[in-house]
Amino acid sequence: MSKVVFAHNPDLSNIIISKTDSGQIILQINSSLTAFQQEVIYINGEGSYQSPEDFQNLVLNHFNATFSIIVNKRDTLQFRNPQVFLGHETKLVAEIIGLPETLTTIHLKNELFKDVHNNQSVVIFLLDDFPKEKYTLNKTNTHSIGIELKDGKWKELKTENTDSYFKYLEYAAIPAIVLLLFFVIRKRKNIST
């Protein structure tokens, strides 16, 4: 059932981080082909690709620019051999390299589908010592999650929402600017008379 939902719903995707039998750590991002197409066209324009290979390259470029995992507040993980598998449910798969043995924090950011209306991306860790909870990335949390290992349990990191602070600052600045313009215009009128 979930495969059908992801295959046809452009606003849903999932991110799975797992380990193969041979010990490789794998990142897999699943969504509908439509979601990938919408982003590629939005970023690169209509007619930006002529072949499936062109499209796959544009998806990989977008992935490299919009997806990151930082662990222990300083180690940015690298992705080896990323590949795009096209289908109704399209997959982006890459090997994760550089994962340290001890983890204290994980910060994952996925803006791969940020321009798709109401997009949500569910993050699932299928690795030992990683959180077992599912996390949802969306516009509300700026398509990112920060978690920290405390007392043997994974807890979400509290982040200040600076966007809302600046939004209020903008609203406060508008009346001040209008008032300042009013006084400047009034003063010019007084000087000219």
What is the residue-wise DSSP string for 115-150?
TSTT-EEEEEEESTTS--S-EEE-TTTTTEEEEEEE
For the chain, the C-alpha Rg in angstroms (whole number) is: 22
User: Is the pLDDT at 6 greater than 50, yes or no?
Assistant: no
Is the domain of 87 the same as that of 11?
yes
User: Is the pLDDT at 107 greater than 80, yes or no?
Assistant: yes
Cα separation values, 122 from 108, 166, 188, Å: 12, 28, 59
**What residue numbers bound the domain in which 34 lies?**
2-159
Number of domains in the chain: 2
Is the domain of 124 the same as that of 182?
no
Is the domain of 164 the same as that of 179?
yes
Is the domain of 81 the same as that of 107?
yes
The pLDDT-based confidence of 29 (bands split at 50, 70, 90) is very high
pTM: 0.76
Is the domain of 93 the same as that of 186?
no
Q: What is the mean pLDDT of residues 68-91?
A: 95
User: Is the pLDDT at 122 greater than 50, yes or no?
Assistant: yes
Q: What is the mean pLDDT of residues 51-65?
A: 96
Is the domain of 91 the same as that of 172?
no
The pLDDT-based confidence of 4 (bands split at 50, 70, 90) is very low
